[in-house]
Amino acid sequence: MKITSDEFVPANTGWGRPMNKGQVLRMTAKTIIDFACINLHNTEERFDQARTKVYNMKLWITTGDVLYSKLNNPMMTIIEDQFSGIGYHDLQYGTCSGPRYARAREEGRLDQYHHGHDIPIPDHGCWENLIDGFSAWNIPPEYIPSPLNVFQHVDIDTKTGQINHTPIRPKDPVYVDFRAEMDLAVAASACPDMAAPDFGQSIQCMIYEP
Amino acid sequence: MTIIREDIVAPNKGWMADVDKGQVLRITAKSVIDFNAFKRDDPREYFDTARTRIYNLNMYPSKGHRLFSKQNNPMMRILEDGFAGIGLHDLQSSHGCTDAMLQILSPLNMSVESLPDPMGLFRNLNISQKGRIRPAPKGPPEPVSIDLEAEINLVCALMNCPASETSAAGAPCTITILQPDTGDISL
């Protein structure tokens, strides 16, 4: 493999890069990564959670599954998933953010983000980090897609619909490989991940030619 | 409550209207209704399925839940849900009738890329504990109502959307906007 870029992304910051069709993005972490992609040549064509779930006919995607755009085009394929067997990536959550943490605190619901009420909350989160990650492409905040939440294992009771966060994460960093099916701009947020045992950690984003 | 406006919407047709803060939007149907809402003062603030799921910590919208915007603000509250016990509303799917919905939303200048995902009222997906999603249309034998109270001034839009694989058979639906009377206990 020929590595074209390989970067560490500190906790609670964003990262973004263009990548070409056929290249592979490897994201390595032990805490949550909020991830999204857009068509490099039409930045209004964005990753879409709903299309992705309906095309794959499943709530949770893994190796062999495809990330779809709102315009029904395949954007990326998961070609390797080391989280498989540990947990599932999430397609229910939007992004955490400064306003979201503030509202949770105001409503006394911080325990829905982490275990305990007395932990300082961040002033920004994945929404702001993805805005940063996509800054070269000027995506308005309201059109930052709801992401694929990599390594965010969520408990879902599909009978009642109840959603609960969990602290289930990889014990040591693992990776997921995504092959680009079109030329893309990709962005990732190293989530502050208040539910992880040691909170959000730095992540690694590598692009390579297979 | 006083009826401000009432419309019958035929299958494959859409509807859009202003709903003021405090008013109640009643949707009475037996087929799938794809529903969107926008802040009237700034339609770039829109009802968002992910924010709504996580604010309520539930995949299926039901009585007592609130609808949230992408910008993390409350937009509507579900006051009553006649579909409870019959089936589950959907917050996983995209629009089935995108072109028709864009037509309805043309005053808002919505592009296909920016059309928010809807709340699929009366859609009823079968989602297994392993996460497999299958359409399982389950229209009520007679039309039932869901009541949504506006928490801000809104533009609401919907499609009566009887796609054969994902909806019960097409049937007209009734859309009512109600104004609570002075003296009604504020909810």
- A9 bridge partner residues: A203
* B25–chain A nearest CA distance, Å: 24
pLDDT of the residue at B35: 98
Tokens of A49: 């959670």
With beta carbons under 8 A apart, name residues in chain A contacting B58: 160-163
Does any CB of chain B come closer than 8 Å to the CB of residue A152?
A: no
B113 CB neighbours in chain A (<8 A) are 44-46, 70-71
Chain B positions touching A164 (Cβ under 8 A) are 57
8 Å CB contact of B54 and A53: no
- Tell me if A158 and B59 make a contact (CB, 8 A cut-off): yes
Q: Is A42 helix (H, G, I), strand (E, B) or coil?
A: strand
User: Of B70, B75, B112, which to mutate for an interface test with A (greatest number of A Cβ within 10 Å)?
Assistant: B70
Whether residue A94 and residue B133 make contact (CB cut-off 8 A), yes or no, is no
- What residues of chain A lie within 8 A of the CB of B134, using their CB? 57
Give the mutation candidate from A47, A49, A100, A146 for the B interface (greatest B CB count, under 10 A).
A146
Q: How far is CA B2 from CA A148, B80, B176, B181, B182, in A?
A: 44, 17, 10, 7, 10
Write the residue in A45, A112, A146 that is nearest to B57 by C-beta: A112
Averaged pLDDT of chain A: 95
Residue A116 has pLDDT above 70, yes or no: no
CA-nearest residue to B69 within chain A is: A142
Tokens of A7: 């970067």
Instruction: Give the Cα separation of A39 and A45 in Å (integer).
Output: 5
Contacts across the A-B interface (CB distance below 8 Å): 93
Are the C-beta atoms of residues A30 and A173 closer than 8 Å to each other?
A: yes
Structure confidence by residue, pLDDT tens digits, A8-21: 999 999 999 999 99
Nearest Cα residue in chain B from A148:
B50
Beta-bridge partners for B155:
B18, B38
pLDDT band at A120 (very low <50, low <70, confident <90, very high): confident
Asked whether the predicted pLDDT for residue A115 surpasses 80, the reply is no
Over residues A115-125, mean pLDDT: 78
ipTM of the shown complex:
0.95
Per-residue pLDDT, A119: 74
Which pLDDT belongs to residue B184? 63
pLDDT attached to residue B167: 74
| pLDDT digit string, tens, across residues A158-187 | 999 999 999 999 999 999 999 999 999 999
Please list, in sequence order, all residues whose beta carbon lies within 8 angstroms of the beta carbon of residue A105, skipping any fewer than 6 positions away: A121
**Six-digit token string for A204:** 């690694």
**A113, A101 contact by CB (below 8 A):** yes
Residue of B nearest to A97 (CA): B72
Residues of A in contact with B57 (CB under 8 A): 112, 162-164
Per-residue pLDDT of chain B (187 residues; tens, 9 = 90+): 999 999 999 999 999 999 999 999 999 999 999 999 999 999 999 999 999 999 999 999 999 999 999 999 999 999 999 999 999 999 999 988 889 999 999 999 999 999 999 999 999 999 999 999 999 988 888 999 999 999 999 999 999 987 767 777 789 999 999 999 876 655 5
Residues with Cβ within 8 Å of residue B11, at least 6 apart in sequence = B31, B160, B162, B170, B171, B172
Out of A58, A100, A103, the one facing B132 most closely (by C-beta) is A58
The token pair that represents A39 in the structure block: 């068509």
d(CA A66, CA B106): 31
| pLDDT of A197 | 83
User: Per the structure block, which two tokens stand in for A175?
Assistant: 């990776």
Instruction: Say whether residue A164 is in contact with chain B using an 8 A CB cutoff.
Output: yes
Q: Which pLDDT score, from 0 to 100, does residue B163 have?
A: 72
Contacts of A195 (CB under 8 A, 6+ apart): A113, A114, A115, A165, A166, A167
- Residues of A whose CB is below 8 A from B51: 94
3-state secondary structure of B3: strand
Pick from B54, B57, B132: which is nearest to A57 by CB? B132
For an interface test with B, the pick among A34, A88, A156, A158 (most B C-beta atoms closer than 10 Å) comes out as A158
pLDDT score of A109: 86
